Amino acid sequence: MTERKSTKLVSAALALGILAACSPVGGPLLNPQGNSALLQSQSAARGSKIFNADARPQMAPNQVIVKVKPGDPNLFVQSLARSGARVVDFFDIDTRVFLVESASRNTDDLIRQFSQDRNVEIAQPNYLVSLNQIPAAPRQQGRPNMAAPNDPLYAQQWHLPHVGALDAWSQGGQGNKDLIVAVVDTGVDYNHPDLKANTIKGKDFTKESPDGLDPIDGFGHGTHVAGIIAAVANNGEGVAGAAPNVKILAVKVLSAKGGGSLFAIAGGIKHSVDMGAKIVNLSLGGPAVTDLISSAVGYWATKKGALLIAAAGNSNTAVGTPARIDDYYMAVAASDQANKRAKFSCYGKELSVSAPGVQIMATTPTYKVPLNDHGYPQNYAFLQGTSMATPLVAGVAALVWSRHPEWTAKQVRQHLEKTAVDVGAPGKDNESGFGVVNAAAALR
């Protein structure tokens, strides 16, 4: 779509009063009982204009994501006006992807309507996604003391020496302070003593803050992810991150109940890249569906030069969304101390690499959050999941990109894959991808 037609489409929508204020749409919250059901789904047929309405995961009610065909934008605007639906958000005008809502018609009705609209290329539900379900709290076990850093809990961070972090730091430093890694998650405790110096406030896409400008962590998950990437090292406090000098951009797309929508996550990714993030960490997942918005934002972010790193999932099944879209997302599996796939980790041909994701010590909020109700303490805790493996890969990627700032995202990804420790079947496999990420080898 040309710039003129793109502008015309939005202008026409505004004139008809069907384009609501374009604040990001977070969608309804997930049920507080848990998120695992979101990972049990059937994929829609690739290329199909209408998605299978049966046996599918949870979705935002009365909403659909629509991709408009190239052509006269007024035709789509007119069909919206006739149906009583309205555009409530859009990802990026040039992608022709819109979030459409109706107060009187349910999602199935909207999909049926748009499947018959000659101006629509494809329509799908605005699926709800969640944190990758956190397995039961592991037993806290210490490890022998190691050489520096002086962070008191470093001795319990087995994952750092396992991937050669100390060797990598001695070779290439601890990351460039100007390199930004976005944590698109439940937010971040940006006042945490181990994170405060390295955290930049992004936006809140969940509507939990009145102005959408406070990405404070309401659940606890995002703070743990942030600490794995860039907790300050050698400050005599808590833990160390894999790339302790880089900056974290806190972007909140998942609520205090741990859920949000694919469209909100797409908005968070776009905001991250617009704010200068080179790497976007996505320790979240949804059903293994053919997803229009994840593909659109993946394509857009890749064109902008960002590296998207996503958790494979914790359901011990096929890789979920968005990680399964391996053209644009680097899918990460979780491994254990023996370099074997963690029993909960998803698997599949889409995997890029794996990384330690069992008994990972990192930061948690300094105040009470729902995570504490699951047996995890404030300040610091062990968690496990592909959600923990993914930020470790993001941290190593940040070290590599700091060492080679002239490289593209594709070069960074290929280098991580090339230098990974091959485990299991020779070469790339469905259990670990190219192998377990290795910071020391990547920095040589």
Say what the alpha-carbon torsion angle 50, 55, 58, 63 is, to the nearest 10 degrees.
20
Alpha-carbon torsion (311, 312, 315, 320), positive or negative: positive
Closest CA to 228 of 284, 168, 183, 271: 183
The whole-number pLDDT of residue 72 equals 80
Does residue 117 sit in the same domain as residue 192? no
Asked if 151 and 218 touch (Cβ cutoff 8 Å), the reply is no
Q: d(Cα 327, Cα 302) in Å, to the nearest integer?
A: 9
Average pLDDT over residues 339-355: 97
Q: Is residue 139 part of a domain?
A: no
Q: d(Cα 182, Cα 279) in Å, to the nearest integer?
A: 6
Phi-psi domain of 443 (left: phi exceeds 0; alpha: psi -120 through 50; beta: other): alpha
Mutual angle of helices 221-230 and 386-403, in 10-degree steps = 30
Is 221 an annotated catalytic residue?
Answer: yes
Kindly list the distances between the CA atom of residue 142 and the CA atoms of 152, 157, 237, 321, 382, in Å, as whole numbers in the listed order.
11, 8, 17, 34, 11
Is 11 an annotated catalytic residue?
Answer: no
Q: Is residue 165 part of a domain?
A: yes
The whole-number pLDDT of residue 71 equals 82
- Choose the weakest-confidence range: 2-11, 173-182, 215-224, 362-371: 2-11
Phi, psi of 93 (to 5 degrees): -55, -45
DSSP 8-state secondary structure symbol assigned to residue 54: S
Catalytic: which of 162, 192, 221, 271?
221
* pLDDT tens digits, 181-221: 999 999 999 999 999 999 999 999 998 999 999 999 999 99
Q: d(Cα 149, Cα 166) in Å, to the nearest integer?
A: 9
* pLDDT tens digits, 271-312: 999 999 999 999 998 776 667 889 999 999 999 999 999 999
Phi, psi of 81 (to 5 degrees): -60, -40
The whole-number pLDDT of residue 299 equals 93
Report whether pLDDT(19) > 60: no
Catalytic: which of 387, 402, 415, 432?
387
Question: Structurally, how many domains does the chain consist of?
Answer: 2
Phi, psi of 370 (to 5 degrees): -55, -30
Does residue 103 sit in the same domain as residue 232? no
Report whether pLDDT(138) > 90: no
Q: To which H or E segment does residue 250 belong?
A: strand 247-252
Enumerate the β-bridge partners of residue 310: 282, 331
Report whether pLDDT(143) > 60: no
pLDDT-derived band at 75, boundaries 50, 70, 90: confident
Alpha-carbon torsion (230, 232, 238, 241), positive or negative: positive
Mutual angle of helices 409-419 and 386-403, in 10-degree steps = 110
Does residue 181 sit in the same domain as residue 118? no
Residue 117, domain extent: 3-130
The whole-number pLDDT of residue 130 equals 81
Is 429 an annotated catalytic residue?
Answer: no
Q: Is residue 136 part of a domain?
A: no
The two tokens of residue 142 are 């210490």
Does residue 80 sit in the same domain as residue 169? no
Report whether pLDDT(73) > 70: yes
Last residue within a domain, chosen from 91, 114, 130 = 130
Report whether pLDDT(53) > 70: no
Does residue 215 sit in the same domain as residue 86? no
DSSP string computed for 386-408: HHHHHHHHHHHHHHHHHH-TTS-
Q: Regarding predicted confidence, which is higher, 78 or 109?
A: 109
Does residue 434 sit in the same domain as residue 336? yes
* Helix (H/G/I), strand (E/B), else coil: 268: helix
Average pLDDT, the chain: 85
Q: d(Cα 25, Cα 325) in Å, to the nearest integer?
A: 22
DSSP 8-state secondary structure symbol assigned to residue 142: -
* pLDDT tens digits, 29-48: 222 223 322 222 212 222 33
- Choose the weakest-confidence range: 53-57, 389-393, 440-444: 53-57
Last residue within a domain, chosen from 77, 95, 130 = 130
Closest CA to 136 of 433, 320, 317, 343: 343
The whole-number pLDDT of residue 14 equals 36
* Helix (H/G/I), strand (E/B), else coil: 435: coil
Does residue 125 sit in the same domain as residue 160? no
Catalytic: which of 89, 117, 151, 185?
185
Task: For residue 432, give the CATH number of its domain.
Answer: 3.40.50.200
Q: Is residue 360 part of a domain?
A: yes
Closest CA to 326 of 341, 346, 340, 356: 346
Last residue within a domain, chosen from 130, 163, 197 = 130
Does residue 123 sit in the same domain as residue 159? no
pLDDT-derived band at 137, boundaries 50, 70, 90: low
The whole-number pLDDT of residue 5 equals 52
pLDDT-derived band at 134, boundaries 50, 70, 90: low
Closest CA to 442 of 246, 243, 303: 243
